[in-house]
Chains A and B, each alone.
Chain A
Amino acid sequence: MNTPKPTPILPPGQPEERPLFVIMTIMAFLAALTLMATLLGMRQSQSWQNDLKSAATLQIFTKSGDTNESELNKAIQLLEATSGITSIDVVSDQESRALIRPWIGNLDLPTDIDMPSLIRLNIDRGKFDASALAGTLQAEGLITELDDHAQWSQNLSHTWGRVRLALLSLLTLMIVSTIAIASFATQSVLRSRKNIINVLGQVGASDHYIARLFVNRFMSLGFKAAITGVVLAIIFAVIFLLWQNAGTDNTGLKLSLKVSDIIWLLLLAIILGGISALTAGRNTLSTIRKLPRS
C-alpha cells in the first residue's frame, strides 16, 4: 500500500461542509464577542463599584458674607477628626469650574459667581458613618451636602445586573443554536452517507463505531470553526478597543483584554467544539437505531 494513512471512511471535504463551517464560525464569533462584552463589562462595573465604594463628595455652600475660606478650613478640621476617612482632597476652584464645563458649554463662568467648595473624600465604608458626619457638620453651622454615592452604586449594580443577564441569555441562545446547527448538519450528512452506513452495518460495524466516525468528523470541524470564530472575535475586539481607547481622553473609558479573558475564550471554543461532537454522536446513534433494516 503506497498510502500509509487509510482514507477516512466518511469522505472529507463534502459540499455540505463549507456552509456548515461558515455558520459554525459565525456562531463562535458572535458567542466570543458576547462573552468578551460580558467579561469587559463585568470588570468595568466592578472597578466603578470599587471607586464609588471608597469615594464620597462633600459640597460646602457659601453663606452670604462669610468667606469661603474659613468655612472650608472648619470643615477640613472636622473631617480630619472623623473616623473612617482615609484622605481629604480639596478640589481647586479652577478644577470645579472645569468639572461643570461639560454641562454649561465652553463658557467661562463669571468669577463672581460663587462655586460651592468641593472636597473629595476617600472613605473606609466599614468605619465611616455618613449621617453622623452630616449631623456634626450641621451642628457647626455649615451648609453642606454629603454624597456617598450609595444611590449611584445601587443604580449601577442594577443596570449591570440586567445587562449581564441579557448578555448571558444571548450566549445561551448561541450555544443552543450551535447544537441545532450541528444536529441539522449531522442529519444531512447521515442522509447523504446512507450507503456507507449500510455497508458498515452489513460488515458488522457496531453502532458506536459508526457514531465515532461522525463524532470525529464533527469534532474536528467544530473545533476548527470555533477556534476560527474566536480568533476573529479577538482580532475584531482588539481593533475595536484600540479605536475606542484612541478616541478618549483620560476621563473616558479605557478598556483592555486580559490573559484571563483569552483563557475564557479558549474555553468557549472547546465547549462549542465539544458540543458539536457530542451532538453529532447522539444524533448518529439515535438515527441509526431508528433506521429500518432494508
Chain B
Amino acid sequence: MNSSIGQGNQAASIIRLDRVSLRYNRSPEVFSDVSLSLAPQSFTFLTGPSGAGKSTLLKLIYLALAPTRGLVEIFGHDSQAISRASRQDLKSRIGVVSQDFALIPHLTVFENATLPLRAVGRKQTSYETDAKELLSWVGLGERLDALPPTLSGGEAQRVAIARAVMNQPDILIADEPTGNVDPEMGQKLLRLFTEMNRTGTTVLIATHDAGLLKGIDADLLQIKSGAVRQGSAL
C-alpha cells in the first residue's frame, strides 16, 4: 500500500499525481497527463482561468472524484487501490472548503462546523469550547444557532472554513475560500491558513484573488488549457 516508500524524491510528497487525466462522462478530458507533487507542510496556490479545471483538480485530490487514468497518491496511498474504509480515514485527515460550501441546511452553524468531529464519534462536550472559540474568531460567535439558508454568502463561506479546519487536518484544501468576503476578512482568513500551515498543515488553495497571492511566500500551481505548471509565486 505504501508504494512510495523507498522511491527517493516521491516519498517526500504528501500529494502526488502521476499522469492523471480526467473527463466527466462523455465530455472531453478536462486535463490530460497531469503530474505534480506537493511536499508536506507546503503552502500552494492554484490559479487559472475560470473553467480551467481548478475545482476538478482539487476534487481529485480530496478524493471526491476518481481519476479517469493515472495515479492519485495521498499520504503515500494510491487512492484507487485502498479500501473504502481506508479512503474514509484519509478523508477525515483532509479539511475541505468546496466552492459551494456544502453545508447541511437543517443543521445550525455550530453543528455544521463541528460535523467532522461528530462524524467520527467525538462527544460534543469534548470540543464545544474550542469550536465556539474558532467560530467567534471567524466572526460567527453571534450566529452559532443560525441555519445556513439564513446566512450571507460570506458567513456560509466562513462556516465551511471553520468546518474544514475544525479537526486540525493534515491537509487543508480550499476552493476560492475568500470569494465572498471583503478584503479585510480575506486577509484574516489567509492568516488562519498560514497559521495552520506554520503548525504543520499542508495547504492548497484555489483562487483568482490576486490580492491573496501578494506578500506571501507560497508555491504556485497554474492550470491552463488542460495542463498544469508547477512554479513559485510572484
Contact = CB atoms under 8 A, between A and B. Distances in A.
Nearest to B91: A204
B104 A204 contact: no
A248 interface: no
A293 B144 contact: no
Contact of B64 (A3, A9, A207, A294): A294
Given A1-B128, A6-B118, A7-B108, A207 B88 contact: yes
B120 interface: yes
Contacts of A199: 102-104, 115
B97 to A, nearest CB: 11
B199 to A, nearest CB: 20
Contact of B65 (A200, A207, A294): A294
Interface string A112-125: 00000000000000
A203 B64 contact: no
Interface in B62-105: 62-66, 84-85, 88-94, 96, 98, 102-104
A204 B65 contact: no
Nearest to B166: A203
Nearest to B100: A195
A202 B102 contact: yes
Q: Determine the main DSSP class of A at the interface with B.
A: loop
Contact of B120 (A3, A7, A201, A204): A204
A202 B65 contact: no
A11 B106 contact: yes
A294 B92 CA distance: 17
Contacts of B85: 206-207
Interface residues of A, number: 24
Given A9-B107, A209-B121, A294-B65, A203 B115 contact: yes
A287 interface: no
A35 B98 CA distance: 54
B91 A203 contact: yes
Nearest to A210: B119
Contact of A7 (B65, B88, B111): B111
B124 A202 contact: no
Contacts of A294: 64-65
Interface of A: 1-3, 6-7, 9, 11, 195-196, 198-207, 209, 289, 292-294
24 contacts: A1-B144, A2-B145, A3-B108, A6-B118, A6-B124, A9-B107, A195-B102, A196-B104, A199-B103, A201-B88, A202-B62, A202-B91, A202-B102, A203-B91, A203-B96, A204-B92, A204-B119, A205-B120, A207-B84, A293-B64, A293-B65, A293-B66, A294-B64, A294-B65
Given A9-B104, A9-B107, A203-B119, 13 more contacts: A1-B144, A2-B145, A3-B145, A6-B111, A7-B106, A201-B88, A201-B91, A204-B90, A204-B119, A205-B119, A207-B88, A209-B121, A293-B66
